Homo-oligomer: A and B are copies of this chain.
Amino acid sequence: MRMGVLGSGMVAQGLSARLAELGHEIMIGTREAEKLRGWQSSNQKVIIGSFAETAAHGEMLFNATSGQGSLNALSLAGEENLAGKVLVDVSNPLDFSGGFPPSLTVFGTDSLAEQIQRAFPRTRVVKTLNTVTARVMTHPLEVANGDHHVFISSDDVDAKAQVTALLRSFGWIHVFDLGDLSTARGTEAYLLLWLRLYGSMNTGMINVKIMK
């Protein structure tokens, strides 16, 4: 499938490389193409484009920009280029203005995922993968042989099913359907615990498993 990944950081790079490896036609969208030239030399199947070109290219899109810049990046991508498409939002609204550890820019009664959905009502926003580090997103079997959970939230049941299938292609075994997009308030808030787990364990190669 043609897919567009918005962002140029480790998450965007990791997603693009993995999706290309799985046979998808990937464009990575950035305002800083030069920053990606070195990376691209070992990922030659991935095309570099602007945000708008990348959004136009993809039948399915990924928001892997930094949370504070996501709404602006998506505006640059263009409302028409996003319309009708599944947008997998893997970002977190981290607020580093007070230093580390960060707080969140939106919280409790709203979420970044919902802000994006309201800003782009014709786009089918699916929140997922934001609770794990970049490597775990795309290679879940590298943590506890995949015996842990990823969460998925969306108002669009069909979009959620499409993204669940994609997650399974990454190797995800346990995909936990939390419900509508407002449940992203939970997974975004969880980042504040994740950051502390990361701090304690000195590795991001971790995740949670829901036990009952």
Contacts and interface: CB of A to CB of B under 8 A. Distances in A.
Instruction: Give the interface size bracket for A toward B.
Output: 35 or more
- Stoichiometry, copies per complex: 2
A25 interface: no
A104 B151 CA distance: 21
A76 interface: no
Contact of A206 (B177, B190, B212): B212
A212 B103 contact: no
Given A104-B108, A190-B190, A196 B183 contact: yes
Contacts of A211: 143-144, 147-148, 206-209
A9 interface: no
Contacts of A95: 108
Q: Is the interface of A mostly helix, strand, loop or mixed?
A: mixed
Contacts of A190: 189-190, 192-193
A95 to B, nearest CB: 7
Interface string A174-212: 001111000101110111111111011101011111111
A179 B104 CA distance: 21
Interface string A121-137: 00000000000000000
A212 to B, nearest CB: 5
Q: Considering the complex of A and B, which 6 residue pairs feature the smallest CB-CB distances, nearest first?
A: A103-B108, A186-B193, A186-B196, A144-B211, A189-B192, A208-B208
Given A201-B210, A209-B209, 6 more contacts: A103-B108, A104-B107, A147-B211, A176-B197, A178-B196, A206-B212
